Amino acid sequence: MIMLVAIPCCLAFSLYHGIKALVSTYIVSFPDLGLQGIQFKDSPLFPSRAPFSPHRLLLSPSATSSTFLTLPTHYRPTRHLNNIKMMKSLLSTLLLLCTLVSVNAVPVVPLSSTDIKAKSAQGLRLLTLAEGVAPVWKTESQVLDLIRGGKKFFDVTETYEVEKKIASARASGDVSIQQTYAAPSHQTAVKAILATMTSANMQTYLTTLTAFNNRYYKSATGASASTWIANTAKDIATKYGRTDVEVSLFAHSFVQSSIIVRIPGTNTANPRVLLGAHMDSINLSNPTSGRAPGADDDGTGTVNLLEAYRALLQGNFRPTSTVEFQFYAAEEAGLLGSQAIATKYKNDGVAVRGHYQLDMTGYFKPGTKEVMALAPDYIDSSLNEFTKQLITAYASIPWGTDLACGYACSDHASFNKVGYPTTYPFEAVTGNDNQLIHSASDTTSVSGFSWSHSLEFAKVAAAFAYELGI
Protein backbone atom coordinates (compact mmCIF):
# COMPACT_ATOMS: atom_id res chain seq x y z
CA MET A 1 0.00 0.00 0.00
CA ILE A 2 2.89 2.36 0.74
CA MET A 3 4.27 1.95 -2.81
CA LEU A 4 0.83 2.56 -4.32
CA VAL A 5 0.49 5.91 -2.58
CA ALA A 6 4.12 7.03 -2.89
CA ILE A 7 3.78 8.64 -6.34
CA PRO A 8 0.52 10.52 -5.69
CA CYS A 9 1.88 11.61 -2.33
CA CYS A 10 5.04 13.01 -3.92
CA LEU A 11 2.93 14.72 -6.57
CA ALA A 12 0.69 16.19 -3.92
CA PHE A 13 3.62 17.60 -2.00
CA SER A 14 5.12 19.06 -5.20
CA LEU A 15 1.85 20.71 -6.21
CA TYR A 16 1.31 21.91 -2.70
CA HIS A 17 4.66 23.68 -2.58
CA GLY A 18 4.08 24.99 -6.10
CA ILE A 19 0.97 26.92 -5.09
CA LYS A 20 2.23 27.79 -1.62
CA ALA A 21 2.95 31.37 -2.72
CA LEU A 22 -0.64 31.79 -3.90
CA VAL A 23 -2.43 30.45 -0.86
CA SER A 24 -2.00 30.84 2.84
CA THR A 25 -1.65 27.50 4.59
CA TYR A 26 -0.62 26.09 7.89
CA ILE A 27 -0.25 22.60 9.31
CA VAL A 28 -2.27 21.60 12.32
CA SER A 29 -2.52 18.43 14.33
CA PHE A 30 -5.51 16.37 15.37
CA PRO A 31 -4.48 16.03 19.02
CA ASP A 32 -7.60 14.04 19.85
CA LEU A 33 -6.54 11.44 17.28
CA GLY A 34 -2.78 11.60 17.64
CA LEU A 35 -2.48 12.45 13.92
CA GLN A 36 -1.19 15.28 11.75
CA GLY A 37 -3.21 17.02 9.03
CA ILE A 38 -3.35 20.06 6.77
CA GLN A 39 -5.68 22.98 7.38
CA PHE A 40 -6.04 26.37 5.63
CA LYS A 41 -6.54 29.70 7.35
CA ASP A 42 -9.26 30.95 5.04
CA SER A 43 -11.15 27.68 4.59
CA PRO A 44 -10.14 24.85 6.90
CA LEU A 45 -10.77 21.30 5.92
CA PHE A 46 -12.37 20.60 9.28
CA PRO A 47 -13.45 24.03 10.59
CA SER A 48 -16.25 23.32 12.99
CA ARG A 49 -16.82 21.36 16.19
CA ALA A 50 -20.55 21.15 15.54
CA PRO A 51 -21.92 17.60 15.78
CA PHE A 52 -22.59 15.56 12.66
CA SER A 53 -22.65 11.94 11.57
CA PRO A 54 -19.19 10.34 11.92
CA HIS A 55 -16.99 10.62 8.84
CA ARG A 56 -14.99 7.69 7.55
CA LEU A 57 -11.88 8.32 5.50
CA LEU A 58 -11.11 5.54 3.01
CA LEU A 59 -7.47 4.56 3.37
CA SER A 60 -6.95 1.35 1.39
CA PRO A 61 -9.68 0.45 -1.11
CA SER A 62 -9.66 -2.95 -2.75
CA ALA A 63 -12.09 -5.25 -4.51
CA THR A 64 -12.66 -7.30 -1.39
CA SER A 65 -12.01 -5.04 1.57
CA SER A 66 -11.34 -1.47 2.59
CA THR A 67 -9.66 0.20 5.55
CA PHE A 68 -11.37 3.22 7.07
CA LEU A 69 -10.51 5.76 9.73
CA THR A 70 -13.54 7.01 11.64
CA LEU A 71 -13.29 10.66 12.64
CA PRO A 72 -15.17 11.67 15.81
CA THR A 73 -18.38 13.62 15.48
CA HIS A 74 -16.87 17.03 16.22
CA TYR A 75 -14.98 17.19 12.89
CA ARG A 76 -17.02 18.68 10.04
CA PRO A 77 -15.79 18.98 6.42
CA THR A 78 -16.52 22.12 4.39
CA ARG A 79 -17.59 22.34 0.75
CA HIS A 80 -15.32 24.64 -1.29
CA LEU A 81 -16.79 26.42 -4.33
CA ASN A 82 -13.87 28.56 -5.37
CA ASN A 83 -11.47 26.76 -7.75
CA ILE A 84 -8.39 27.74 -5.77
CA LYS A 85 -10.05 26.63 -2.55
CA MET A 86 -11.16 23.41 -4.20
CA MET A 87 -7.57 22.69 -5.23
CA LYS A 88 -6.33 23.42 -1.74
CA SER A 89 -8.98 21.21 -0.24
CA LEU A 90 -8.20 18.32 -2.56
CA LEU A 91 -4.48 18.66 -1.99
CA SER A 92 -4.86 18.94 1.75
CA THR A 93 -7.12 15.90 1.77
CA LEU A 94 -4.56 13.93 -0.21
CA LEU A 95 -1.80 15.04 2.12
CA LEU A 96 -3.89 14.01 5.10
CA LEU A 97 -4.58 10.64 3.53
CA CYS A 98 -0.87 10.18 2.84
CA THR A 99 -0.13 10.91 6.48
CA LEU A 100 -2.84 8.54 7.63
CA VAL A 101 -1.63 5.80 5.29
CA SER A 102 1.92 6.15 6.53
CA VAL A 103 0.70 6.00 10.11
CA ASN A 104 -1.53 3.00 9.48
CA ALA A 105 1.00 1.18 7.30
CA VAL A 106 3.16 0.56 10.36
CA PRO A 107 1.67 -1.94 12.82
CA VAL A 108 0.92 -0.37 16.18
CA VAL A 109 3.28 -1.85 18.75
CA PRO A 110 1.37 -2.60 21.98
CA LEU A 111 2.59 -0.68 24.99
CA SER A 112 4.46 -2.69 27.57
CA SER A 113 3.79 -2.58 31.28
CA THR A 114 7.21 -0.96 31.67
CA ASP A 115 6.26 1.82 29.24
CA ILE A 116 2.99 2.45 31.04
CA LYS A 117 4.55 2.50 34.50
CA ALA A 118 7.32 4.85 33.37
CA LYS A 119 5.01 7.38 31.74
CA SER A 120 2.46 7.10 34.53
CA ALA A 121 5.23 7.89 37.02
CA GLN A 122 5.84 11.08 35.03
CA GLY A 123 2.22 12.12 35.61
CA LEU A 124 0.95 11.16 32.16
CA ARG A 125 -2.36 9.41 31.52
CA LEU A 126 -3.18 7.02 28.69
CA LEU A 127 -6.52 7.91 27.08
CA THR A 128 -8.67 6.49 24.31
CA LEU A 129 -10.62 9.32 22.71
CA ALA A 130 -12.60 7.51 20.04
CA GLU A 131 -13.51 3.98 19.12
CA GLY A 132 -10.93 2.20 17.00
CA VAL A 133 -8.26 4.87 17.56
CA ALA A 134 -4.99 4.13 19.33
CA PRO A 135 -4.64 5.54 22.87
CA VAL A 136 -2.65 8.72 23.42
CA TRP A 137 -0.69 10.09 26.36
CA LYS A 138 -1.93 13.28 28.00
CA THR A 139 -0.73 15.42 30.88
CA GLU A 140 -3.09 16.07 33.78
CA SER A 141 -3.70 19.63 32.56
CA GLN A 142 -4.53 18.30 29.09
CA VAL A 143 -6.95 15.81 30.64
CA LEU A 144 -8.70 18.64 32.47
CA ASP A 145 -8.86 20.64 29.24
CA LEU A 146 -10.63 17.72 27.57
CA ILE A 147 -13.14 17.49 30.42
CA ARG A 148 -13.76 21.24 30.34
CA GLY A 149 -14.31 21.01 26.59
CA GLY A 150 -16.92 18.28 27.05
CA LYS A 151 -14.75 15.62 25.43
CA LYS A 152 -15.52 12.14 26.78
CA PHE A 153 -12.80 9.51 27.01
CA PHE A 154 -11.61 6.35 28.72
CA ASP A 155 -8.53 6.67 30.91
CA VAL A 156 -7.01 3.23 30.30
CA THR A 157 -3.74 3.81 32.13
CA GLU A 158 -4.55 1.15 34.71
CA THR A 159 -6.62 -1.23 32.59
CA TYR A 160 -4.77 -1.24 29.26
CA GLU A 161 -3.06 -4.61 29.67
CA VAL A 162 -6.15 -6.39 30.98
CA GLU A 163 -8.23 -4.90 28.18
CA LYS A 164 -5.74 -6.23 25.62
CA LYS A 165 -6.16 -9.70 27.08
CA ILE A 166 -9.96 -9.40 27.04
CA ALA A 167 -9.99 -8.10 23.47
CA SER A 168 -7.74 -10.96 22.36
CA ALA A 169 -10.01 -13.53 23.99
CA ARG A 170 -13.11 -12.03 22.40
CA ALA A 171 -11.43 -11.91 19.00
CA SER A 172 -10.61 -15.60 19.37
CA GLY A 173 -14.27 -16.49 19.74
CA ASP A 174 -14.85 -15.82 23.43
CA VAL A 175 -17.87 -13.64 22.73
CA SER A 176 -20.65 -12.76 25.11
CA ILE A 177 -23.86 -14.80 24.88
CA GLN A 178 -26.81 -12.70 23.73
CA GLN A 179 -29.13 -12.29 26.69
CA THR A 180 -32.91 -12.50 26.47
CA TYR A 181 -35.29 -11.02 29.02
CA ALA A 182 -38.78 -12.17 29.91
CA ALA A 183 -41.43 -9.54 30.55
CA PRO A 184 -41.77 -8.35 34.17
CA SER A 185 -43.86 -10.89 36.06
CA HIS A 186 -43.55 -10.12 39.77
CA GLN A 187 -45.73 -7.04 39.99
CA THR A 188 -47.35 -7.86 43.33
CA ALA A 189 -44.06 -8.43 45.17
CA VAL A 190 -42.27 -5.56 43.45
CA LYS A 191 -45.03 -3.01 44.02
CA ALA A 192 -45.10 -3.89 47.71
CA ILE A 193 -41.40 -3.02 47.90
CA LEU A 194 -41.78 0.16 45.85
CA ALA A 195 -44.51 1.37 48.20
CA THR A 196 -41.92 1.65 50.99
CA MET A 197 -39.59 3.90 48.99
CA THR A 198 -39.58 7.62 49.75
CA SER A 199 -37.84 10.73 48.49
CA ALA A 200 -37.37 11.74 52.14
CA ASN A 201 -34.87 8.92 52.60
CA MET A 202 -33.00 10.01 49.49
CA GLN A 203 -32.95 13.62 50.71
CA THR A 204 -31.40 12.50 53.99
CA TYR A 205 -28.65 10.62 52.16
CA LEU A 206 -28.01 13.48 49.73
CA THR A 207 -27.80 16.09 52.49
CA THR A 208 -24.78 14.26 53.91
CA LEU A 209 -23.29 13.47 50.52
CA THR A 210 -23.38 17.08 49.32
CA ALA A 211 -21.97 18.34 52.63
CA PHE A 212 -18.53 17.08 51.58
CA ASN A 213 -16.69 20.03 50.02
CA ASN A 214 -16.29 17.90 46.93
CA ARG A 215 -16.04 14.23 46.04
CA TYR A 216 -13.09 14.60 43.68
CA TYR A 217 -11.28 11.31 43.29
CA LYS A 218 -7.93 12.72 44.46
CA SER A 219 -9.23 14.71 47.43
CA ALA A 220 -9.46 13.72 51.08
CA THR A 221 -13.18 14.54 51.07
CA GLY A 222 -13.61 12.32 48.02
CA ALA A 223 -12.09 9.45 49.98
CA SER A 224 -14.24 10.25 53.01
CA ALA A 225 -17.37 10.18 50.86
CA SER A 226 -16.51 6.63 49.77
CA THR A 227 -16.16 5.55 53.37
CA TRP A 228 -19.48 7.18 54.27
CA ILE A 229 -21.33 5.34 51.48
CA ALA A 230 -19.84 2.02 52.57
CA ASN A 231 -20.72 2.64 56.22
CA THR A 232 -24.25 3.68 55.29
CA ALA A 233 -24.74 0.46 53.32
CA LYS A 234 -23.46 -1.54 56.31
CA ASP A 235 -25.81 0.29 58.66
CA ILE A 236 -28.77 -0.52 56.42
CA ALA A 237 -27.84 -4.21 56.37
CA THR A 238 -27.52 -4.21 60.16
CA LYS A 239 -30.88 -2.47 60.58
CA TYR A 240 -32.66 -5.24 58.68
CA GLY A 241 -30.63 -8.09 60.17
CA ARG A 242 -28.95 -9.05 56.91
CA THR A 243 -25.66 -10.62 57.93
CA ASP A 244 -25.37 -12.17 54.46
CA VAL A 245 -24.90 -8.79 52.75
CA GLU A 246 -21.29 -7.98 51.85
CA VAL A 247 -20.00 -4.40 51.65
CA SER A 248 -16.47 -3.87 50.36
CA LEU A 249 -14.22 -1.06 49.23
CA PHE A 250 -12.66 -1.58 45.80
CA ALA A 251 -9.26 0.13 46.05
CA HIS A 252 -7.63 2.10 43.24
CA SER A 253 -4.26 3.81 42.78
CA PHE A 254 -5.84 7.08 43.97
CA VAL A 255 -7.33 7.80 47.39
CA GLN A 256 -11.00 7.36 46.51
CA SER A 257 -12.38 3.82 46.51
CA SER A 258 -15.31 2.38 44.63
CA ILE A 259 -17.87 0.50 46.74
CA ILE A 260 -19.54 -2.85 46.01
CA VAL A 261 -22.61 -3.84 48.01
CA ARG A 262 -23.46 -7.48 47.34
CA ILE A 263 -26.68 -9.33 48.13
CA PRO A 264 -25.63 -12.97 47.57
CA GLY A 265 -27.89 -15.16 45.48
CA THR A 266 -28.88 -18.68 46.46
CA ASN A 267 -27.44 -19.93 43.16
CA THR A 268 -23.92 -18.59 42.85
CA ALA A 269 -23.58 -20.07 39.36
CA ASN A 270 -26.15 -17.62 37.99
CA PRO A 271 -24.99 -14.44 36.22
CA ARG A 272 -24.89 -11.42 38.50
CA VAL A 273 -27.27 -8.47 38.34
CA LEU A 274 -25.43 -5.14 38.59
CA LEU A 275 -26.68 -1.63 39.32
CA GLY A 276 -24.25 1.28 39.24
CA ALA A 277 -23.79 5.00 39.82
CA HIS A 278 -20.71 7.16 40.21
CA MET A 279 -20.17 8.80 43.57
CA ASP A 280 -17.47 11.32 42.66
CA SER A 281 -17.98 14.97 41.73
CA ILE A 282 -15.86 17.71 40.18
CA ASN A 283 -15.58 21.47 40.01
CA LEU A 284 -13.97 22.17 36.65
CA SER A 285 -12.64 25.54 37.78
CA ASN A 286 -10.81 24.04 40.75
CA PRO A 287 -10.99 20.22 40.80
CA THR A 288 -8.97 19.48 43.92
CA SER A 289 -10.35 22.00 46.40
CA GLY A 290 -13.24 23.75 44.66
CA ARG A 291 -16.78 23.34 45.97
CA ALA A 292 -18.53 20.54 44.07
CA PRO A 293 -21.70 19.37 45.83
CA GLY A 294 -22.60 17.17 42.85
CA ALA A 295 -26.24 16.97 43.92
CA ASP A 296 -27.48 15.85 40.52
CA ASP A 297 -24.19 14.61 39.05
CA ASP A 298 -24.20 12.06 40.44
CA GLY A 299 -25.56 12.43 43.92
CA THR A 300 -29.02 11.54 42.64
CA GLY A 301 -27.89 8.26 41.10
CA THR A 302 -26.00 7.39 44.28
CA VAL A 303 -28.96 7.96 46.60
CA ASN A 304 -31.29 6.19 44.14
CA LEU A 305 -29.21 3.05 44.61
CA LEU A 306 -29.07 3.44 48.38
CA GLU A 307 -32.85 3.75 48.60
CA ALA A 308 -33.49 0.84 46.21
CA TYR A 309 -31.07 -1.31 48.23
CA ARG A 310 -32.69 -0.25 51.50
CA ALA A 311 -36.21 -1.04 50.28
CA LEU A 312 -35.18 -4.46 48.96
CA LEU A 313 -33.66 -5.41 52.32
CA GLN A 314 -36.71 -4.12 54.16
CA GLY A 315 -38.80 -6.34 51.90
CA ASN A 316 -36.60 -9.35 52.80
CA PHE A 317 -35.39 -9.72 49.21
CA ARG A 318 -33.64 -13.10 48.86
CA PRO A 319 -32.50 -13.34 45.25
CA THR A 320 -31.59 -16.44 43.31
CA SER A 321 -28.91 -14.51 41.43
CA THR A 322 -26.39 -12.31 43.21
CA VAL A 323 -27.34 -8.62 43.03
CA GLU A 324 -24.70 -5.91 43.40
CA PHE A 325 -25.03 -2.17 43.96
CA GLN A 326 -21.83 -0.53 42.74
CA PHE A 327 -20.71 3.03 43.48
CA TYR A 328 -17.92 4.09 41.14
CA ALA A 329 -14.97 6.33 41.91
CA ALA A 330 -13.42 8.74 39.40
CA GLU A 331 -16.06 8.67 36.68
CA GLU A 332 -15.36 12.31 35.93
CA ALA A 333 -11.69 11.54 35.26
CA GLY A 334 -12.28 8.95 32.54
CA LEU A 335 -14.49 6.20 34.01
CA LEU A 336 -11.64 4.86 36.13
CA GLY A 337 -13.65 3.10 38.82
CA SER A 338 -16.14 1.37 36.57
CA GLN A 339 -13.43 0.30 34.12
CA ALA A 340 -11.41 -1.28 36.91
CA ILE A 341 -14.42 -3.29 38.09
CA ALA A 342 -15.71 -4.23 34.63
CA THR A 343 -12.32 -5.39 33.37
CA LYS A 344 -11.62 -7.36 36.55
CA TYR A 345 -14.99 -9.08 36.36
CA LYS A 346 -14.55 -9.94 32.69
CA ASN A 347 -10.98 -11.15 33.22
CA ASP A 348 -12.13 -13.26 36.19
CA GLY A 349 -14.91 -14.85 34.14
CA VAL A 350 -17.79 -13.27 36.06
CA ALA A 351 -21.05 -13.62 34.11
CA VAL A 352 -23.42 -10.64 34.16
CA ARG A 353 -27.16 -10.78 33.51
CA GLY A 354 -27.51 -7.04 33.12
CA HIS A 355 -26.11 -3.70 34.27
CA TYR A 356 -28.36 -0.72 35.12
CA GLN A 357 -26.58 2.65 35.18
CA LEU A 358 -27.83 5.78 36.93
CA ASP A 359 -26.02 9.04 36.23
CA MET A 360 -28.14 12.16 36.86
CA THR A 361 -31.81 11.54 37.61
CA GLY A 362 -33.05 14.66 39.42
CA TYR A 363 -33.73 17.31 36.80
CA PHE A 364 -35.78 18.09 33.73
CA LYS A 365 -36.09 21.50 32.13
CA PRO A 366 -39.21 23.34 33.31
CA GLY A 367 -41.92 23.24 30.68
CA THR A 368 -40.60 20.12 28.95
CA LYS A 369 -42.03 16.62 28.95
CA GLU A 370 -41.03 14.49 31.93
CA VAL A 371 -39.54 11.18 30.76
CA MET A 372 -36.93 8.59 31.61
CA ALA A 373 -34.70 9.02 28.56
CA LEU A 374 -32.96 5.80 27.52
CA ALA A 375 -29.56 6.10 25.87
CA PRO A 376 -29.68 4.46 22.41
CA ASP A 377 -25.96 3.77 21.99
CA TYR A 378 -23.30 1.73 23.78
CA ILE A 379 -26.06 -0.28 25.44
CA ASP A 380 -27.73 -3.66 24.92
CA SER A 381 -30.87 -3.27 22.83
CA SER A 382 -32.62 -6.24 24.44
CA LEU A 383 -31.91 -4.92 27.93
CA ASN A 384 -33.16 -1.49 26.83
CA GLU A 385 -36.44 -3.06 25.73
CA PHE A 386 -36.71 -4.81 29.10
CA THR A 387 -36.06 -1.50 30.88
CA LYS A 388 -38.86 0.09 28.86
CA GLN A 389 -41.16 -2.66 30.13
CA LEU A 390 -40.04 -1.99 33.71
CA ILE A 391 -40.73 1.72 33.34
CA THR A 392 -44.17 1.03 31.90
CA ALA A 393 -44.99 -1.42 34.69
CA TYR A 394 -43.53 0.37 37.70
CA ALA A 395 -42.95 4.09 37.02
CA SER A 396 -45.45 6.94 36.93
CA ILE A 397 -43.66 8.67 34.05
CA PRO A 398 -43.08 7.30 30.54
CA TRP A 399 -39.86 6.23 28.92
CA GLY A 400 -38.38 8.20 26.06
CA THR A 401 -35.40 7.83 23.76
CA ASP A 402 -32.45 10.10 24.39
CA LEU A 403 -30.08 11.46 21.77
CA ALA A 404 -26.90 9.47 21.22
CA CYS A 405 -24.82 9.64 24.37
CA GLY A 406 -21.54 9.09 22.54
CA TYR A 407 -18.22 7.45 23.27
CA ALA A 408 -17.29 6.93 26.94
CA CYS A 409 -20.38 8.87 27.98
CA SER A 410 -20.84 7.34 31.44
CA ASP A 411 -20.00 4.23 33.42
CA HIS A 412 -22.30 1.96 31.41
CA ALA A 413 -19.74 2.29 28.59
CA SER A 414 -17.14 0.46 30.70
CA PHE A 415 -19.38 -2.59 30.87
CA ASN A 416 -20.46 -2.36 27.25
CA LYS A 417 -16.80 -2.24 26.21
CA VAL A 418 -16.06 -5.67 27.68
CA GLY A 419 -19.26 -7.25 26.39
CA TYR A 420 -21.65 -6.98 29.32
CA PRO A 421 -25.28 -5.98 28.60
CA THR A 422 -26.11 -2.57 30.02
CA THR A 423 -28.84 0.08 30.00
CA TYR A 424 -28.74 3.76 30.89
CA PRO A 425 -31.90 5.77 31.66
CA PHE A 426 -31.12 9.50 31.88
CA GLU A 427 -32.99 12.31 33.63
CA ALA A 428 -34.21 14.00 30.43
CA VAL A 429 -33.68 14.10 26.71
CA THR A 430 -30.28 15.73 26.20
CA GLY A 431 -30.78 19.46 25.97
CA ASN A 432 -33.45 19.38 28.65
CA ASP A 433 -30.99 18.11 31.26
CA ASN A 434 -29.14 19.94 34.03
CA GLN A 435 -26.65 22.49 32.69
CA LEU A 436 -25.19 23.48 36.07
CA ILE A 437 -23.21 20.33 36.78
CA HIS A 438 -19.46 20.30 37.44
CA SER A 439 -19.75 23.50 39.46
CA ALA A 440 -20.69 24.83 42.89
CA SER A 441 -24.20 25.41 41.51
CA ASP A 442 -25.07 21.71 41.22
CA THR A 443 -27.53 21.75 44.12
CA THR A 444 -31.11 20.68 44.76
CA SER A 445 -32.25 24.33 44.82
CA VAL A 446 -31.86 24.80 41.07
CA SER A 447 -35.14 25.39 39.23
CA GLY A 448 -36.09 22.12 37.54
CA PHE A 449 -34.76 19.79 40.22
CA SER A 450 -37.46 17.30 41.24
CA TRP A 451 -37.33 14.72 44.00
CA SER A 452 -40.43 12.97 42.72
CA HIS A 453 -38.80 12.66 39.31
CA SER A 454 -35.64 11.14 40.79
CA LEU A 455 -37.64 8.69 42.91
CA GLU A 456 -39.01 7.05 39.75
CA PHE A 457 -35.47 6.06 38.74
CA ALA A 458 -34.91 4.50 42.16
CA LYS A 459 -38.14 2.53 41.84
CA VAL A 460 -37.15 1.15 38.45
CA ALA A 461 -33.75 0.26 39.92
CA ALA A 462 -35.42 -1.82 42.64
CA ALA A 463 -37.67 -3.45 40.03
CA PHE A 464 -34.63 -4.21 37.85
CA ALA A 465 -32.87 -5.91 40.76
CA TYR A 466 -35.94 -7.91 41.74
CA GLU A 467 -37.13 -9.03 38.30
CA LEU A 468 -33.67 -10.15 37.17
CA GLY A 469 -32.43 -11.36 40.55
CA ILE A 470 -35.35 -13.38 41.80
Q: Give catalytic residue positions.
A: 278, 297, 331-332, 359, 438
Q: Which amino acid is at 286?
A: N
Q: In what order do the strands lie in the sheet with 323-328?
A: 246-250, 258-263, 323-328, 272-278, 352-357, 422-423
- Write out the chain in H/E/C secondary structure: CHHHHHHHHHHHHHHHHHCCCCCCEEEEEECCCCEEEEEECCCCCCCECCCCCCEEEECCCCCCCCCEEEECCCCECCCCCCHHHHHHHHHHHHHHHHHHHHHHHCCCCCCCHHHHHHHHHCCCEEEECCCCCCCEEECHHHHHHHHHCCCCCEECCCCHHHHHHHHHHHHCCCCCCCCCCCCCCCHHHHHHHHCCCCHHHHHHHHHHHHHCCCCCCCCHHHHHHHHHHHHHHHHHHHHCCCCCCEEEEECCCCCCCEEEEEECCCCCCCCEEEEEEECCCCCCCCCCCCCCCCHHHHHHHHHHHHHHHHHHHHCCCCCCCCEEEEEECCCCCCCHHHHHHHHHHHHCCCCEEEEEECCCCCECCCCCCCCEEECCCCCCHHHHHHHHHHHHHHCCCCEEECCCCCCCCCCHHHHHHCCCCEECEECCCCCCCCCCCCCCCCCCCCCCECHHHHHHHHHHHHHHHHHHHC
